[in-house]
Amino acid sequence: MSRPSVLRALAGHAAFAVVAVVLLAVHTRPLTAQAGGRARTGVGAATVTAAAPDTTDPLTRALDAEDKGDSKRAAIAYREVVQRALLAANADGDRIALALLGLERTWAETGVRDSIIPLVERVLAVRPTDPVARTIQLRTLVGLGRDAEARQAFVNWRKVAGTDGAPFREYSRLLIAQGRGLAADSVLAEAGRLLGAGGALAGEVAQLHVSMGRWNSAAVSFREALVDQPYLETAAQFALTRAPLAARDSIRTVLNALPALLPPRRLLATMELFWGEPRRAWVALSSVRVDDSTSAAWREFAERAEQAQAWQVARDVWLAVLDRRADLESQSRAAQAALRAGDAAGALEIARRPARAGAGTPADATTRVRALLPLELAALGELARPQEAQKLLDANSKSLDAATRALIAQSLVGAWLRSGDVEKARAAVEGSELADDDETMGWLALYDGDLVTARKRLVRAETRRPELVDALGLLARARTERSIGLGQAFLLLAKRDTLGAALRFASLADSTGDAAPALLAVAARLEYARPASKRSMAIWDRIVSAYPKSPEAPEALLGAARALRDAGDKAAAITRYETLLVDYPESALLPQGRRELEQLKRTVP
């Protein structure tokens, strides 16, 4: 068999088709000898090359051209895909859909969007129920403002769709997107008459109600839609969270209605968290019948509550998950949330709960110790029970790794400090990684009254907790190298004795020179944090009268104004706000003060 015959035979196999065609063209190419032994392609060869068909799949060519930004070449190839598919005995709907969507994109980019209408009509002549072709036809006509033709296209689609709600769904969505709520309303009303209320079009009805500000009706429609279309939950969250304050109670009533189903309650919980009502969110979700889906929803909500720093709610949710699953992760996260919420006693009780028999795969004893012991010791530290913490540490020391020891050392130091024993705290630091920790060593130096070392170490601390910021502010203003009184004041803060600390800071003001207004400001903040105390107002007034040029004077005016506002003395509060605006126009607190004054005068919401 000659070489051309072999190549022609290979061309019959799909795997070799492209290679065979190329090789055939090369083999049959006539050559004409030229002077010097060179050869050039003859005219006949040029004719063969020009006539050789491009066997590349047109859909591949189209996608490649579109990726390269060549919209015109892509459109030509997409059109070829449609034409070939329509000529086939059984038109390939998937290829037609891909090509039509590609043409819609490319022709829109080249400014000939309406060119797709005739091609779509050709497709519909062969495939009258093709959903992609019908949608593109409707979308193009609505986008071009050809309303009468769009309406007729909708009617034609509706005739061939039978009981399918797709024509109503697509047409109403397009009208809603254009802000034509009344027109969409009439389309959906017609769907209700022909197909029955609710069901498949509940989502579109809900979006229509949202666009027209009918929040109660929107909540009702979304509740109905979530029964069969749970994927609409994200759309419902986005739509309903924008509801104004006055409409939220009606939305709550709808989504809280019985029976307590998981999708609407989960939707309400997400919105309540967004609206800043984490407790209401958990109440809505906790009343759903408990099963595996509910438990998974609780875990997800607990994580969201942690992200929102709603620690009390996060604690309660993790406890509910713990009662259901009794797993180590839920127990440790519940204890951690309790600590963050300021409930040290609750955290201790949670961390000490024994493992429940038969609850999944129990963690081994060492794993439980490493997960829960740091939380237990942190709780004991907050409760100022260092001796108990030390005994617990000694009893479990063999089960601890280096990472757990580092966590525990911090808690043990805190426990001794909260009991007021700085020497024991320093002993707990020795031999641990905390000896190199700037914040820990800085605080210990400050408690000893060594302001030089405290200033040097605390300024390098990685955290910027409020108490650390206060300490750095005072250290920057204090001119002395040692102050036992200042160290004792901060030690009282470490012991959670805010009353004693406030009195000590205030008493030090007369003997610290330039740091006096800063000391008084710290004392006022501590007093204001105690609702029963009335000394904060006297301290703020003292700052304004005795140190009017200090950085703390604007803060004192703002704090006094807020205290008077909260006490119901509106006139006195307005006077303080106005003094702040007039006397301290360069203060960074000015925007805050101005807005609060406008709110007090009810000129802004």
Q: Of 513, 544, 575, which marks where a domain is finished?
A: 544
pLDDT of residue 362: 59
- Shared domain check, 485 and 443: yes
pTM over 0.85: no
Helices (H) and strands (E) in the chain, counts: 35, 2
Q: Which contacts of 196-199 are long-range, i.e. CB under 8 A and separated by 24 or more positions?
A: 198/224, 199/165, 199/224, 199/228
Chain-centre distance for alpha carbon 248: 22
Instruction: Look at residue 86 and tell me if it is in a domain.
Output: no
* 504 in any annotated domain: yes
Residues 442 and 538 in one domain: yes
- Is there a domain that residue 207 lies in? no
The span from the CA of 196 to the CA of 438, in Å, is 71
Burial bucket for residue 522 (CB in 10 Å: 0-12, 13-18, 19+): buried
Q: What is the mean pLDDT of residues 242-257?
A: 94
The C-alpha atoms of residue 517 and residue 510 are separated, in whole angstroms, by 10
Gap between the terminal Cα atoms of the chain: 93
pLDDT confidence tier of residue 480, bands split at 50, 70 and 90: confident
Q: Do residue 454 and residue 519 come from a single domain?
A: yes
Same domain, yes or no, for 576 and 529?
A: no
Total domains in the chain come to 3
Q: Can you list the alpha helix ranges (DSSP code H) found in 28-165?
A: 43-51, 58-67, 71-87, 93-109, 116-126, 131-143, 147-161
Q: Which amino acid is at 194?
A: L
Q: pLDDT: is 123 or 198 the higher one?
A: 123
Q: What is the pLDDT, as a whole number, of residue 322?
A: 94
Residue 132 lies in a domain: no
275: nearest Cα among 252, 259, 306, 298: 252
- Assign 357 a pLDDT band (cuts: 50, 70, 90): low
Query: 501, 524, 544 — which closes off a domain?
Result: 544
Does 584 lie in the same domain as 564?
yes
CB 482, CB 466: distance < 8 Å: no
452 and 515: one domain? yes
Q: Is residue 390 part of a domain?
A: no
How much is the pLDDT for 364?
Answer: 77
Cα(579)–Cα(522) distance, integer angstroms: 22
Is 514 among the domain residues? Answer: yes
Q: For residue 418, what are its two tokens?
A: 């909260």
Kindly report the three-state secondary structure assignment for every residue of 347-400.
HHHHHCCCCCCCCCCCCCHHHHHHHHHHHHHHHHHHCCCHHHHHHHHHHCHHHC
pLDDT, one tens digit per residue, over 421-443 is: 889 888 888 877 788 889 889 99
Q: Compute the CA torsion angle 190, 193, 199, 200 (nearest 10 deg).
A: -40
Joined together, the tokens standing for residue 259 give 């029976």
Expressed as residue numbers, the domain containing 526 is: 437-544
Q: Per-residue pLDDT for 21 more than 70?
A: no
- Percent above pLDDT 70 for the chain: 87
Any domain includes 413 = no
Q: Band the pLDDT of 28: cuts 50, 70, 90.
A: very low
Q: Which of 555, 537, 539 is nearest to 592 (CA)?
A: 555
536 with 560, same domain: the answer is no
Given a contact cutoff of 8 angstroms between Cβ atoms, the answer to whether 173 and 204 are in contact is: yes
Same domain for 578 and 593?
yes
Domain shared by 537 and 594, yes or no: no
Higher pLDDT, 170 or 21: 170
User: Is residue 19 predicted with pLDDT exceeding 70?
Assistant: no
Same domain membership, residue 523 and residue 576: no
Inter-axis angle of helices 365-382 and 344-351, nearest 10: 160
What pLDDT is attached to residue 316?
A: 96
Question: What's the pLDDT tens digit per position in 280-328?
Answer: 999 999 999 999 999 999 999 999 999 999 999 999 999 999 998 889 9
517-534 tens-digit pLDDT: 999 999 999 888 776 567
Q: Which residues contact 489 (CB under 8 A, 6 or more apart)?
A: 501, 504, 505, 508
Q: Judge if 540 and 583 occupy the same domain.
A: no
Residue ending a domain, choose from 544, 574, 594:
544
pLDDT tens figures, 130-187: 999 999 999 999 989 898 998 899 889 988 887 777 888 888 888 888 888 788 777 7
Would you state the torsion angle of the CA atoms of residues 124, 125, 126, 129, taken in this order, to the nearest 10 degrees?
40
Q: Are residues 536 and 444 in the same domain?
A: yes
Shortest CA distance to 436 belongs to which of 539, 444, 113? 444
In a domain, 62, yes or no: no
Q: What pLDDT does residue 549 have?
A: 93
Q: What mean pLDDT, rounded, does the chain reach?
A: 83
